[in-house]
Structure 1
Amino acid sequence: MYKRPLVPDGFEVPQRVDGDGFHLRMLSVYDVVKDYAAVMESEARLVGFMEPAGDWPRRLTIDENLIDLGWHQREFTLRHSFAYTVMNDDESRCLGCCYIYPSNRPEFDAMAFYWAREAEFRTGFDDRLGELFRGFIAVEWPFKTVAFPGRDIAWSDW
Protein backbone atom coordinates (compact mmCIF):
# COMPACT_ATOMS: atom_id res chain seq x y z
CA MET A 1 0.00 0.00 0.00
CA TYR A 2 1.04 3.56 -0.55
CA LYS A 3 1.97 5.65 2.48
CA ARG A 4 -0.14 8.77 2.04
CA PRO A 5 -3.33 10.03 0.42
CA LEU A 6 -2.95 10.97 -3.22
CA VAL A 7 -5.52 13.76 -2.99
CA PRO A 8 -6.10 16.54 -0.42
CA ASP A 9 -8.50 15.96 2.49
CA GLY A 10 -11.14 18.31 1.09
CA PHE A 11 -11.22 16.70 -2.35
CA GLU A 12 -14.40 14.75 -3.07
CA VAL A 13 -13.33 11.60 -4.90
CA PRO A 14 -15.56 10.94 -7.93
CA GLN A 15 -17.48 7.72 -7.43
CA ARG A 16 -18.72 7.24 -10.99
CA VAL A 17 -18.34 8.57 -14.49
CA ASP A 18 -20.67 7.67 -17.34
CA GLY A 19 -19.70 6.98 -20.93
CA ASP A 20 -21.74 5.95 -23.94
CA GLY A 21 -22.91 2.43 -23.06
CA PHE A 22 -20.53 2.01 -20.13
CA HIS A 23 -19.45 3.58 -16.86
CA LEU A 24 -16.57 3.63 -14.40
CA ARG A 25 -17.06 3.07 -10.69
CA MET A 26 -14.94 1.93 -7.76
CA LEU A 27 -13.55 -1.58 -8.22
CA SER A 28 -14.52 -3.76 -5.26
CA VAL A 29 -14.36 -7.35 -4.05
CA TYR A 30 -17.93 -7.82 -5.29
CA ASP A 31 -16.60 -7.54 -8.85
CA VAL A 32 -14.25 -10.52 -8.53
CA VAL A 33 -16.00 -12.92 -10.93
CA LYS A 34 -16.63 -10.38 -13.71
CA ASP A 35 -13.21 -8.76 -13.28
CA TYR A 36 -11.43 -12.13 -13.32
CA ALA A 37 -13.19 -13.10 -16.56
CA ALA A 38 -12.07 -9.84 -18.21
CA VAL A 39 -8.50 -10.14 -16.92
CA MET A 40 -8.06 -13.74 -18.01
CA GLU A 41 -9.58 -13.09 -21.45
CA SER A 42 -7.02 -10.30 -21.84
CA GLU A 43 -4.08 -12.03 -20.14
CA ALA A 44 -1.72 -12.18 -23.13
CA ARG A 45 -2.03 -8.43 -23.77
CA LEU A 46 -1.90 -7.44 -20.08
CA VAL A 47 1.37 -9.20 -19.16
CA GLY A 48 3.92 -6.38 -18.84
CA PHE A 49 1.28 -3.73 -19.53
CA MET A 50 1.50 -1.89 -16.20
CA GLU A 51 5.18 -2.57 -15.62
CA PRO A 52 7.46 -4.01 -18.26
CA ALA A 53 9.16 -6.58 -16.01
CA GLY A 54 5.91 -7.69 -14.37
CA ASP A 55 4.14 -10.92 -15.16
CA TRP A 56 0.68 -10.00 -13.84
CA PRO A 57 -1.80 -11.55 -14.57
CA ARG A 58 0.01 -14.71 -15.71
CA ARG A 59 -1.18 -17.72 -13.66
CA LEU A 60 -3.51 -15.49 -11.62
CA THR A 61 -6.10 -17.46 -9.67
CA ILE A 62 -9.53 -16.15 -8.76
CA ASP A 63 -8.48 -16.21 -5.08
CA GLU A 64 -5.45 -14.03 -5.87
CA ASN A 65 -7.70 -11.72 -7.86
CA LEU A 66 -10.00 -11.39 -4.84
CA ILE A 67 -6.99 -10.32 -2.75
CA ASP A 68 -5.98 -7.79 -5.44
CA LEU A 69 -9.50 -6.36 -5.53
CA GLY A 70 -9.57 -6.09 -1.73
CA TRP A 71 -6.29 -4.18 -1.87
CA HIS A 72 -7.64 -1.85 -4.57
CA GLN A 73 -10.85 -1.26 -2.62
CA ARG A 74 -8.94 -0.44 0.58
CA GLU A 75 -6.54 1.87 -1.25
CA PHE A 76 -9.55 3.70 -2.71
CA THR A 77 -11.16 4.20 0.70
CA LEU A 78 -7.84 5.39 2.14
CA ARG A 79 -7.50 7.77 -0.86
CA HIS A 80 -4.03 6.38 -1.62
CA SER A 81 -4.82 5.11 -5.14
CA PHE A 82 -7.96 4.68 -7.20
CA ALA A 83 -9.06 1.67 -9.23
CA TYR A 84 -12.21 1.89 -11.30
CA THR A 85 -13.93 -1.03 -12.95
CA VAL A 86 -15.37 -0.39 -16.40
CA MET A 87 -18.84 -1.92 -16.65
CA ASN A 88 -21.44 -2.04 -19.37
CA ASP A 89 -24.62 -0.16 -18.51
CA ASP A 90 -26.45 -3.07 -16.90
CA GLU A 91 -23.35 -4.22 -14.96
CA SER A 92 -23.50 -7.68 -16.53
CA ARG A 93 -19.99 -7.47 -18.02
CA CYS A 94 -16.67 -5.97 -16.99
CA LEU A 95 -15.14 -4.18 -19.98
CA GLY A 96 -11.78 -3.26 -18.40
CA CYS A 97 -10.21 -1.21 -15.63
CA CYS A 98 -8.72 2.22 -14.98
CA TYR A 99 -6.17 3.10 -12.30
CA ILE A 100 -4.78 6.29 -10.77
CA TYR A 101 -1.62 5.87 -8.68
CA PRO A 102 0.95 8.14 -7.05
CA SER A 103 3.76 8.82 -9.49
CA ASN A 104 7.21 7.53 -8.72
CA ARG A 105 8.62 10.48 -10.67
CA PRO A 106 8.56 13.96 -9.09
CA GLU A 107 7.57 15.80 -12.27
CA PHE A 108 4.15 14.09 -12.26
CA ASP A 109 1.37 14.37 -9.69
CA ALA A 110 0.01 10.94 -10.59
CA MET A 111 0.30 8.14 -13.09
CA ALA A 112 -2.63 6.43 -14.75
CA PHE A 113 -3.33 3.22 -16.60
CA TYR A 114 -6.34 1.80 -18.38
CA TRP A 115 -7.09 -1.34 -20.31
CA ALA A 116 -10.04 -2.73 -22.23
CA ARG A 117 -11.14 -6.35 -22.23
CA GLU A 118 -9.78 -8.23 -25.25
CA ALA A 119 -13.10 -8.55 -27.11
CA GLU A 120 -13.78 -4.82 -26.65
CA PHE A 121 -10.18 -3.90 -27.46
CA ARG A 122 -10.59 -5.49 -30.89
CA THR A 123 -13.57 -3.18 -31.58
CA GLY A 124 -11.63 0.01 -30.79
CA PHE A 125 -13.18 0.42 -27.34
CA ASP A 126 -9.74 1.10 -25.84
CA ASP A 127 -9.69 4.47 -27.63
CA ARG A 128 -13.17 5.40 -26.35
CA LEU A 129 -12.22 4.34 -22.84
CA GLY A 130 -8.99 6.30 -22.98
CA GLU A 131 -10.77 9.43 -24.17
CA LEU A 132 -13.31 9.24 -21.34
CA PHE A 133 -10.72 8.39 -18.67
CA ARG A 134 -8.27 11.12 -19.72
CA GLY A 135 -11.07 13.69 -19.81
CA PHE A 136 -12.34 12.50 -16.43
CA ILE A 137 -8.90 13.00 -14.89
CA ALA A 138 -8.39 16.39 -16.55
CA VAL A 139 -11.76 17.78 -15.44
CA GLU A 140 -12.58 16.05 -12.15
CA TRP A 141 -9.21 15.54 -10.44
CA PRO A 142 -6.85 18.08 -8.83
CA PHE A 143 -3.73 16.97 -10.71
CA LYS A 144 -1.68 19.30 -12.90
CA THR A 145 0.45 16.59 -14.50
CA VAL A 146 -0.51 12.96 -15.03
CA ALA A 147 1.72 10.41 -16.73
CA PHE A 148 0.46 7.49 -18.77
CA PRO A 149 3.50 5.19 -18.74
CA GLY A 150 3.54 2.67 -21.54
CA ARG A 151 1.18 4.84 -23.59
CA ASP A 152 2.33 8.48 -23.76
CA ILE A 153 5.76 7.73 -22.33
CA ALA A 154 7.65 4.67 -23.53
CA TRP A 155 8.63 2.28 -20.76
CA SER A 156 12.24 2.69 -21.85
CA ASP A 157 11.96 6.42 -21.03
CA TRP A 158 10.10 5.89 -17.77
Structure 2
Amino acid sequence: MKQVRFLSNYSIPDSFQNTHCFCEPLKPDHIHLDYEAVMSSRQFLRLWSKSDWPSDNFQLEDNLNDLVMHEKEHIEGVAYTYTILSVDKNECLGCLYVNPTDRIEPVTDHERNLLNQRPATIRFWIRNSYQNTDKESIIVKDLISWFKLTWGLKEILFSCNKQVPGQIKLFRSSGLFLWLELQNPSRHELLWSIY
Protein backbone atom coordinates (compact mmCIF):
# COMPACT_ATOMS: atom_id res chain seq x y z
CA MET A 1 0.00 0.00 0.00
CA LYS A 2 1.45 3.34 -1.05
CA GLN A 3 1.76 5.92 1.72
CA VAL A 4 -0.04 9.22 1.17
CA ARG A 5 2.42 12.09 1.01
CA PHE A 6 2.20 14.65 3.80
CA LEU A 7 0.63 17.90 2.50
CA SER A 8 -0.10 16.25 -0.86
CA ASN A 9 -2.75 18.90 -1.59
CA TYR A 10 -0.24 21.73 -1.22
CA SER A 11 2.62 23.03 -3.32
CA ILE A 12 5.95 22.10 -1.69
CA PRO A 13 8.49 24.73 -2.78
CA ASP A 14 12.07 23.90 -3.67
CA SER A 15 13.50 27.06 -2.12
CA PHE A 16 12.90 30.43 -0.54
CA GLN A 17 15.01 33.58 -0.63
CA ASN A 18 14.79 37.05 0.86
CA THR A 19 17.41 39.75 1.42
CA HIS A 20 18.85 37.89 4.44
CA CYS A 21 18.65 34.16 3.72
CA PHE A 22 18.24 31.34 1.27
CA CYS A 23 16.33 28.16 2.20
CA GLU A 24 16.54 24.85 0.41
CA PRO A 25 15.90 21.22 1.38
CA LEU A 26 18.44 19.97 3.92
CA LYS A 27 20.79 17.41 2.35
CA PRO A 28 24.01 15.60 3.25
CA ASP A 29 25.84 18.18 1.10
CA HIS A 30 25.16 20.70 3.89
CA ILE A 31 27.04 18.62 6.46
CA HIS A 32 29.88 21.03 7.31
CA LEU A 33 27.81 24.22 7.40
CA ASP A 34 25.02 22.53 9.36
CA TYR A 35 27.36 20.88 11.85
CA GLU A 36 29.11 24.18 12.59
CA ALA A 37 25.77 25.92 13.19
CA VAL A 38 24.45 23.10 15.37
CA MET A 39 27.54 22.94 17.55
CA SER A 40 27.82 26.72 17.92
CA SER A 41 24.19 26.81 19.12
CA ARG A 42 24.09 23.56 21.09
CA GLN A 43 23.13 25.06 24.45
CA PHE A 44 20.15 26.83 22.89
CA LEU A 45 19.21 23.71 20.89
CA ARG A 46 19.04 21.62 24.07
CA LEU A 47 16.48 24.05 25.50
CA TRP A 48 14.66 24.33 22.16
CA SER A 49 14.41 20.54 21.73
CA LYS A 50 13.96 19.80 25.45
CA SER A 51 16.58 17.09 25.06
CA ASP A 52 20.31 16.51 25.38
CA TRP A 53 20.73 16.99 21.59
CA PRO A 54 23.31 17.83 20.50
CA SER A 55 25.65 16.46 23.13
CA ASP A 56 29.08 18.00 23.57
CA ASN A 57 30.55 14.95 21.84
CA PHE A 58 28.10 15.03 18.90
CA GLN A 59 30.22 14.07 15.89
CA LEU A 60 30.14 14.98 12.22
CA GLU A 61 29.07 11.41 11.45
CA ASP A 62 26.12 11.73 13.87
CA ASN A 63 25.06 14.89 12.08
CA LEU A 64 25.39 13.19 8.70
CA ASN A 65 22.99 10.46 9.89
CA ASP A 66 20.47 13.16 10.82
CA LEU A 67 20.82 14.87 7.43
CA VAL A 68 20.37 11.59 5.55
CA MET A 69 17.20 10.89 7.56
CA HIS A 70 15.78 14.38 6.90
CA GLU A 71 16.54 14.15 3.18
CA LYS A 72 14.82 10.74 2.99
CA GLU A 73 11.73 12.11 4.75
CA HIS A 74 11.66 15.08 2.38
CA ILE A 75 11.94 12.91 -0.74
CA GLU A 76 9.26 10.51 0.52
CA GLY A 77 6.94 13.34 1.56
CA VAL A 78 6.86 12.29 5.22
CA ALA A 79 8.12 15.68 6.50
CA TYR A 80 10.01 18.62 5.01
CA THR A 81 13.24 20.04 6.40
CA TYR A 82 15.01 23.11 5.02
CA THR A 83 18.40 24.54 5.82
CA ILE A 84 18.42 28.30 6.34
CA LEU A 85 21.57 29.64 4.69
CA SER A 86 23.09 33.06 4.21
CA VAL A 87 22.29 34.50 0.77
CA ASP A 88 25.81 33.61 -0.43
CA LYS A 89 25.30 30.06 0.95
CA ASN A 90 28.54 30.23 2.97
CA GLU A 91 26.94 30.05 6.43
CA CYS A 92 24.11 28.02 7.93
CA LEU A 93 21.79 30.33 9.87
CA GLY A 94 19.53 27.58 11.18
CA CYS A 95 16.99 24.98 10.21
CA LEU A 96 13.25 24.78 9.47
CA TYR A 97 11.06 21.70 10.03
CA VAL A 98 7.58 21.15 8.56
CA ASN A 99 5.90 18.17 10.22
CA PRO A 100 2.47 16.55 10.47
CA THR A 101 0.63 17.54 13.65
CA ASP A 102 0.33 13.86 14.61
CA ARG A 103 4.04 13.93 15.51
CA ILE A 104 3.22 16.14 18.49
CA GLU A 105 3.15 13.96 21.60
CA PRO A 106 2.07 13.49 24.32
CA VAL A 107 -1.36 15.09 23.94
CA THR A 108 -4.81 14.60 25.42
CA ASP A 109 -7.69 13.35 23.26
CA HIS A 110 -9.13 16.88 23.15
CA GLU A 111 -5.77 18.33 22.07
CA ARG A 112 -5.42 15.64 19.37
CA ASN A 113 -8.85 16.55 17.99
CA LEU A 114 -7.82 20.21 17.81
CA LEU A 115 -4.46 19.38 16.22
CA ASN A 116 -6.10 17.17 13.61
CA GLN A 117 -7.84 20.29 12.28
CA ARG A 118 -4.49 21.82 11.30
CA PRO A 119 -2.39 20.70 8.32
CA ALA A 120 1.11 21.05 9.75
CA THR A 121 3.36 22.34 12.48
CA ILE A 122 6.49 24.40 11.90
CA ARG A 123 9.57 24.42 14.09
CA PHE A 124 12.74 26.31 13.40
CA TRP A 125 15.89 27.53 15.04
CA ILE A 126 18.25 30.35 14.21
CA ARG A 127 21.89 30.16 15.31
CA ASN A 128 22.83 32.02 18.49
CA SER A 129 24.70 34.83 16.74
CA TYR A 130 21.50 35.97 14.94
CA GLN A 131 18.96 35.49 17.73
CA ASN A 132 17.18 38.62 18.96
CA THR A 133 18.32 40.65 15.95
CA ASP A 134 16.47 42.51 13.21
CA LYS A 135 17.79 39.90 10.77
CA GLU A 136 16.08 37.08 12.68
CA SER A 137 12.84 39.06 12.86
CA ILE A 138 12.83 39.76 9.11
CA ILE A 139 13.61 36.13 8.28
CA VAL A 140 10.74 34.87 10.44
CA LYS A 141 8.19 37.39 9.13
CA ASP A 142 9.16 36.52 5.55
CA LEU A 143 8.93 32.78 6.30
CA ILE A 144 5.41 33.26 7.68
CA SER A 145 4.46 35.02 4.43
CA TRP A 146 6.14 32.23 2.44
CA PHE A 147 3.98 29.60 4.15
CA LYS A 148 0.81 31.62 3.60
CA LEU A 149 1.40 32.71 0.01
CA THR A 150 3.67 30.14 -1.64
CA TRP A 151 2.67 26.99 0.24
CA GLY A 152 -0.94 28.08 0.66
CA LEU A 153 -0.75 27.05 4.33
CA LYS A 154 -2.79 29.58 6.26
CA GLU A 155 -3.76 27.30 9.15
CA ILE A 156 -0.30 26.06 10.08
CA LEU A 157 0.98 26.09 13.63
CA PHE A 158 4.38 27.25 14.83
CA SER A 159 5.61 25.50 17.95
CA CYS A 160 8.05 26.25 20.73
CA ASN A 161 8.34 25.71 24.46
CA LYS A 162 8.66 27.87 27.56
CA GLN A 163 12.42 27.32 27.78
CA VAL A 164 12.98 29.54 24.72
CA PRO A 165 11.46 32.92 25.65
CA GLY A 166 13.20 34.55 22.69
CA GLN A 167 11.03 32.53 20.28
CA ILE A 168 7.90 33.39 22.25
CA LYS A 169 8.73 37.08 21.95
CA LEU A 170 9.58 36.63 18.26
CA PHE A 171 6.26 34.90 17.52
CA ARG A 172 4.31 37.65 19.25
CA SER A 173 6.19 40.43 17.46
CA SER A 174 5.64 38.61 14.13
CA GLY A 175 1.87 38.73 14.56
CA LEU A 176 1.25 35.14 15.66
CA PHE A 177 -1.12 34.41 18.51
CA LEU A 178 -0.97 31.63 21.10
CA TRP A 179 -3.49 29.08 19.82
CA LEU A 180 -2.98 26.24 22.30
CA GLU A 181 -0.86 25.43 25.32
CA LEU A 182 -0.55 21.68 25.76
CA GLN A 183 -1.19 20.16 29.19
CA ASN A 184 1.97 18.05 29.05
CA PRO A 185 5.23 19.99 28.75
CA SER A 186 7.14 19.10 25.59
CA ARG A 187 9.17 20.73 22.84
CA HIS A 188 5.80 21.62 21.26
CA GLU A 189 3.99 22.83 24.39
CA LEU A 190 3.14 26.26 22.93
CA LEU A 191 1.40 26.30 19.55
CA TRP A 192 1.04 29.56 17.66
CA SER A 193 -1.25 30.40 14.77
CA ILE A 194 -1.32 33.00 11.99
CA TYR A 195 -5.12 33.41 12.37
TM-score interval, normalised by the smaller of the two chains: 0.7 to 0.9
Which amino acid counterpart does residue 103 of structure 1 have in structure 2?
A: T
TM-superposed deviation, 1:117: 1.1
- Say whether the 8 Å CA contact 1:82–1:101 is kept in structure 2: yes
Q: Deviations over 1:87-117 (max 9, x none)?
A: 1122111111111011123132111011111
Counterparts of 1:84-99 in structure 2 under 5 Å? 84-99=82-97
Counterpart position of 1:70: 68
Counterpart check, 1:5 vs 2:5: yes
What's the TM-score once normalised by structure 1's chain length? 0.85
- Say whether the 8 Å CA contact 1:6–1:81 is kept in structure 2: yes
Q: RMSD of the alignment, in Å? A: 2.1
- Runs of 4 or more above 3 Å deviation: 151-158
CA distance in 1, matches of 2:5, 2:44: 30
The SS at the match of 2:95 is strand
User: Which one has more relative contact order, counting CA pairs under 8 Å at least 6 apart?
Assistant: 1
TM-superposed deviation, 1:124: 3.7
Counterpart position of 1:115: 125
TM-superposed deviation, 1:126: 2.5
Query: Which one of the candidate residues 110, 119, 126 is aligned to 2:136?
Result: 126
Q: Deviations over 1:61-112 (max 9, x none)?
A: 2111100001111111111111111111221111111110111231321110
Cα distance 1:94–1:13, how it changes in 2: closer, same or farther (>3 A)?
same
Counterpart position of 1:135: 145
Flag structure 2 segments of 5+ consecutive residues without an equivalent: 103-114, 161-167, 169-177, 191-195
Q: Which has the larger radius of gyration?
A: 2
What's the TM-score once normalised by structure 2's chain length? 0.70
Flag structure 1 segments of 5+ consecutive residues without an equivalent: none
Which amino acid counterpart does residue 100 of structure 1 have in structure 2?
A: V
